[in-house]
Amino acid sequence: MPFEAYDPEDFYDELFVARGKPRSRSVTLIDHMTKLGIDRIEQQRQTAEIAFFELGVTFNVYSDNQGVEKIFPFDIIPRIIDGDEWERLEQGLKQRIKALNFFLSDIYNDQKIIKDGKIPLDVIVTASGFLKPCLGIKPAAGVWCHITGSDLVRDRDGEWYVLEDNLRSPSGVSYVLENRRVMKSTFPEIFQDMRVKPIDDYPGHLLETLLNLAPSQIQEPTLVVLTPGIYNSAYYEHSFLAQQMGVELVEGRDLVVADGYLQMKTTRGLQRVDVVYRRIDDRFLDPLAFNPDSLLGVPGLMKVYQEGRVALANAPGTGVADDKVVYAYVPEMIRYYLGEEPILASVPTYLCWRESDRKYVLENLDKLVVKSADEAGGYGMLVGIKSTAAEREEFAQKIIANPRNFIAQPTLNLSRVPTLVDGKIEGRHVDLRPYILHRGDEIYVHPGGLTRVALKKGSLVVNSSQGGGSKDTWVLNK
Amino acid sequence: MLSRVADSIYWLNRYIERAENVARFIDVNLNLMLDLPAGVSPQWQPLISVTGDLEEFKQRYDLFNSDNVIQFLCFDLTYENSILSCLYKARENARSIREVISSEMWEEVNSFYLSIEGIAKNQSFSGLPKLFAKVKMASHRFAGVMDATMSHNEGWHFGKIGRLLERADKTARILDVKYFLLLPSAEWVGTPLDQIQWMALLRSASAYEMYRKCRHYITPSSVAEFLILDRTFPRSIHFCLWESRRCIHEITNTPSGNWCNSAERSLGRLSSELGYITINDIIQSGLHEFLEQMQSSLNQIGNEIHTAFFAFGNPPDALSNQSSDYLQLQSTSLSQSSSAKTLSST
């Protein structure tokens, strides 16, 4: 009886209400897994792991010349979301992305939100993602953040919070698709009994979103995915998406600016490129406009972009809204641009540049989570309740030295999902990263998303670089 | 198609074919060794000589014994033409064009590399024949999977040219082994040992059975004729060159008999020469000399293909696939400048 001893403890558990009592949405799943028994489940896990390795769904850690390949650890107990609940999340995400897109457009053009005193100018210009070369740009279809991967978490009381927006180039969607593929071949019976929303059509939606950016007079626009190359840890995903969309995967060295257009080097000479889904950071896009040392980008690309002869997704400059100080203003943006109240909550955020906030943060370091405003991936972070006095002291010094760069939030008790660990089923903390596509005329939220799970007992950090894994995410039809 | 992609698919196929042929070399030598009369010591040096990498071997090892030669040719990752190095590079090339080739092809290359890498870790002398059989079969399987799952488009033709040119080169070298492979003395010419060596040579090109179907006797000149000039045997040099010529015309859309770049011209010229030469002509001017000349012409064609289709203004010495150092450099420069975090938030 695999779940007999399973105890949700004092957390919101995504599959159980209490010990021995599955939530209504997960009864079918739990019944099925109970019938299988723990040994079969463990066997299925191994089969799934081999499948991932053979598919080559790996990410690389190239520390020596051979490179170490790892599979992004996968847990075979899925996370389930009710249809009704999903609908609310979907509405909330659409609202949020709509407002953020208005914000980006505004901040690089009229800057009304600053003039109206809703956000201090200082916060914007000191955000590391704010790019001056983007001022005055009006991208195709008015869209800046074409692809977003917001991170959501659920607190102990079951309430959802947006943790980060990730408007630059969020990764992970390939795992969503591959996880589902492996789950379907591992547990075909369960899919027959439960009404799980299918997710295989993501590449089709992505392709439409991108094609929408090409100038309308071009009959057959050329679309490419721009990758840093095979040594990038997310290379698998870049190649996967290019393949699924049937477009070229290019590296910077395949591209050149010639005759005022972005062109790629082919066996028959140069060919014009109309839309670039770029998976390299803003600052590496063009050594002439940004980081002069970058070998990944294309000299002159920004000029072609500014002249409207090529579309980039996401638009350069979206990183300004990923700044964690700017994040704190998103509810205000929703009210300002849409005249609505936010559907999804943001995590209460203390801004260390405000003197009163800073004082509170410094006095409560042991209770708060402190984050550096411009870092991601679980780096540059202090989890107060798990920290040592020395670490707190170190962060206190950092905050005092550079208050603009730090924010603090209360520690959330992330929800948990039963997870197979060393042949036993235990609760592990999860987050959720849904993928949202902004097409200009409409916003599409892909059902479910990537559930990342912190595999270390008690850990709240779900990033793959810090021992995280992933789970399939099932959104049930209503 | 992208020049870089064409380059990668070409080299992907070359490396796999190269790995296969290295396996063939060693396999045949192992077989020969077991048939040697008592008192004749096994010969390992010819294997190295024929690769053209004698100096590289000497830098790493003192003795031409089975252990060293097998380690060098099969598993030495510091030697860029060892079986394992070839498969490693084949896989890196495949990885960089996964979205272009079929996923079956990728899975084939991936499991090919992983299985040989696994064997390299716990190798044993008795396991070698099995290893070589495995390498040959996996290479054939890859070619078959590519044929059956990928559109026969421009990229496919580049891949095929890579495989065929590599095979032509290696068939020339296999034939040349006999030149280096010394008989104990001149009296042995025409003896059963001599016969056995020629048979082994045919076997190493998987040519023995097909040879027997059209020739009764095994003589040096008819073996050479079969491996160089046969019109239908898929490993003969003639066959490889005429097929690659067909492929290059598919790519350029130039009518046969014409050419639009120097690669096409050289390939057309060399294949035509083979079409109208006889084995007697070849033997009169020296078989070994002919084979050496063939190898250098094939190299030349390889360079011209690079210039015509892949280089795009880059000098040929920056060939991404010919210097293992370059890959290494590339990996460092990339990991420094790209943020190496999978799935980190953004």
Element (H, E) at A90: helix A83-107
Query: In the predicted model, what is the mean pLDDT of residues A433-459?
Result: 93
Does A466 fall in a domain? Answer: yes
Q: State whether B338 and A67 contact (CB < 8 Å).
A: no
Identify whether residues A216 and A227 lie together within a single domain. Answer: no
Identify whether residues A23 and A102 lie together within a single domain. Answer: yes
Identify whether residues A98 and A137 lie together within a single domain. Answer: yes
d(CA A263, CA A256): 5
Q: State whether A235 and B330 contact (CB < 8 Å).
A: no
CATH code where residue A256 lies: 3.40.50.11290
d(CA A97, CA A148): 8
Task: Collapse the DSSP code of B160 into the 3-class scheme (helix H, G, I; strand E, B; otherwise coil) and give the result.
Answer: helix
Tell me the chain A residues in contact with residue B331 when contact means C-beta distances shorter than 8 Å. Answer: 62, 65, 67, 231
Identify whether residues A97 and A202 lie together within a single domain. Answer: yes
Residue B81 is encoded by which pair of tokens?
A: 């033409």
Identify whether residues A331 and A370 lie together within a single domain. Answer: no
Asked if residue A242 has pLDDT above 90, the reply is yes
Identify whether residues A279 and A329 lie together within a single domain. Answer: no
Nearest 5°: phi and psi at A461?
-100, 115
Tell me, what's the pLDDT at B320? 46
Tell me the chain B residues in contact with residue A232 when contact means C-beta distances shorter than 8 Å. Answer: 334, 338, 340
Which segments within A232-332 are labelled E, that is strand? Answer: 248-250, 255-258, 261-266, 269-272, 275-278, 311-313
Identify whether residues A332 and A433 lie together within a single domain. Answer: yes
* Residue A409 and residue A383 in contact, taking contact as beta carbons nearer than 8 Å: no
What is the span of the domain harbouring residue A401? 348-410
In 3D, which of A178, A122, A184, A189 has the Cα closest to residue A325? A122
Q: The whole model's pTM is what?
A: 0.82
Identify whether residues A329 and A363 lie together within a single domain. Answer: no
How does strand A223-226 pair with strand A248-250? parallel
CATH code where residue A392 lies: 3.30.1490.270
Does A11 fall in a domain? Answer: no
**What digits encode the pLDDT tens for the residues A112-155?**
999 999 999 999 999 989 999 999 999 998 999 999 999 999 99
The DSSP-derived string for B38-92 is TTPPP--HHHHHHHT-HHHHHHH-S---HHHHHIIIII-TTSTTSHHHHHHHHHH
How does strand A424-433 pair with strand A450-454? antiparallel
Does A389 fall in a domain? Answer: yes
The DSSP-derived string for B250-286 is HHH-PPTT--SSHHHHHHHHHHHHHHH--HHHHHHH-
| CB-count exposure of residue A303 (10 Å: 0-12, 13-18, 19+) | middle
> Is B232 in the A-facing interface, judged by CB distances under 8 Å?
no
Provide the domain count of chain A. 3
d(CA A415, CA A163): 13
Tell me, what's the pLDDT at A31? 92
One-letter amino acid at A31 equals D
Does A372 fall in a domain? Answer: yes
d(CA A23, CA A25): 5
Identify whether residues A142 and A34 lie together within a single domain. Answer: yes
Distance from CA of B144 to the nearest CA of A (A): 19
Tell me, what's the pLDDT at A57? 66
In tens digits, what is the pLDDT along chain B, a chain of 346 residues? 999 999 999 999 999 999 999 998 888 777 777 777 767 777 788 888 878 888 999 999 999 888 899 899 999 999 999 999 999 999 999 988 988 898 899 989 998 998 898 888 777 777 788 889 899 999 999 999 999 999 999 999 999 999 999 999 999 988 887 777 656 566 667 777 788 888 888 888 889 899 998 888 888 889 999 999 999 999 999 999 999 999 999 999 999 889 999 999 999 999 999 999 999 999 998 998 999 999 999 999 999 999 999 987 554 443 445 433 333 222 222 222 223 332 333 3
> What is Dmax (Cα atoms) for chain A?
69
Q: State whether A296 and B4 contact (CB < 8 Å).
A: no
Helices B220-229 and B192-204, packing angle to 10 deg: 10
Q: State whether B337 and A295 contact (CB < 8 Å).
A: yes
Tokens 């998103």 label which residue?
A: A330
**What digits encode the pLDDT tens for the residues A354-396?**
999 999 999 999 999 999 888 766 677 888 888 899 999 999 9
Angle at A11 between CA A5 and CA A12, to 5 degrees: 100
Query: In the predicted model, what is the mean pLDDT of residues A310-339?
Result: 95
Query: In the predicted model, what is the mean pLDDT of residues A189-196?
Result: 87
Q: Which of A284, A309, A334 is the last residue of a domain?
A: A309
Q: Which of B97, B154, B343 has its CB closest to that of A172?
A: B343
Distance from CA of A65 to the nearest CA of B (A): 7
> What is Dmax (Cα atoms) for chain B?
76
Element (H, E) at A100: helix A83-107
Tell me the chain B residues in contact with residue A55 when contact means C-beta distances shorter than 8 Å. Answer: 103, 107
DSSP-derived letter for residue A405 is G
Identify whether residues A294 and A188 lie together within a single domain. Answer: no
Tell me, what's the pLDDT at B203? 86
Tell me, what's the pLDDT at B338? 29
Tell me, what's the pLDDT at A87? 96
Query: Pseudo-torsion of CA A444, A448, A450, A451, nearest 10°?
Result: 150
Q: Which of B106, B337, B346 has its CB closest to that of A293?
A: B337
> Is B333 in the A-facing interface, judged by CB distances under 8 Å?
yes
Distance from CA of A252 to the nearest CA of B (A): 11
Does A90 fall in a domain? Answer: yes
In 3D, which of A13, A37, A6 has the Cα closest to residue A415? A13
Angle at A186 between CA A181 and CA A190, to 5 degrees: 95
Identify whether residues A205 and A354 lie together within a single domain. Answer: no
Q: Which of A395, A410, A425 is the last residue of a domain?
A: A410
- Total residue count of chain A as it appears in this document: 478
The CA R_g of chain B, rounded to the nearest whole Å, is: 21
Does A458 fall in a domain? Answer: yes
Interface test with A, best of B158, B319, B343 (most A CBs within 10 A): B343
* Residue A276 and residue A224 in contact, taking contact as beta carbons nearer than 8 Å: yes
> Is B337 in the A-facing interface, judged by CB distances under 8 Å?
yes
| Dihedral of alpha carbons B320, B326, B328, B332, sign | negative
Q: Which of A385, A410, A435 is the last residue of a domain?
A: A410
For B326, nearest residue in chain A (alpha carbons): A65
Q: State whether B98 and A243 contact (CB < 8 Å).
A: yes
Tell me what ipTM this predicted complex has: 0.71
Q: State whether B312 and A265 contact (CB < 8 Å).
A: yes
Could you write out the three-class secondary structure of B169-186? HHHHHHHHHHHHCCCCCH
Identify whether residues A364 and A230 lie together within a single domain. Answer: no
Does A5 fall in a domain? Answer: no
d(CA B312, CA A291): 25
d(CA A9, CA A18): 8
- Residues 91-110 (B) with a CB less than 8 A from some CB of A: 92, 95-100, 103, 106-107, 110
Cβ-Cβ contacts under 8 Å between A and B: the total is 147
Tell me, what's the pLDDT at B182? 59
For B89, nearest residue in chain A (alpha carbons): A66
pLDDT band at A89 (very low <50, low <70, confident <90, very high): very high
> Is B66 in the A-facing interface, judged by CB distances under 8 Å?
no
Distance from CA of A196 to the nearest CA of B (A): 25
Tell me, what's the pLDDT at B178? 76
Distance from CA of B57 to the nearest CA of A (A): 22
Sheet holding A255-258, edge to edge: A255-258, A261-266, A269-272
One-letter amino acid at A443 equals I
> Is B233 in the A-facing interface, judged by CB distances under 8 Å?
no
Q: State whether A465 and B107 contact (CB < 8 Å).
A: no
Does A6 fall in a domain? Answer: no
Give exposure, B52-76, as e/b (b: 16+ Cβ within 10 Å). Answer: ebeebbeeebeebebebbbbbbbbb
Residue A249 is encoded by which pair of tokens?
A: 């995967």
Distance from CA of B267 to the nearest CA of A (A): 18
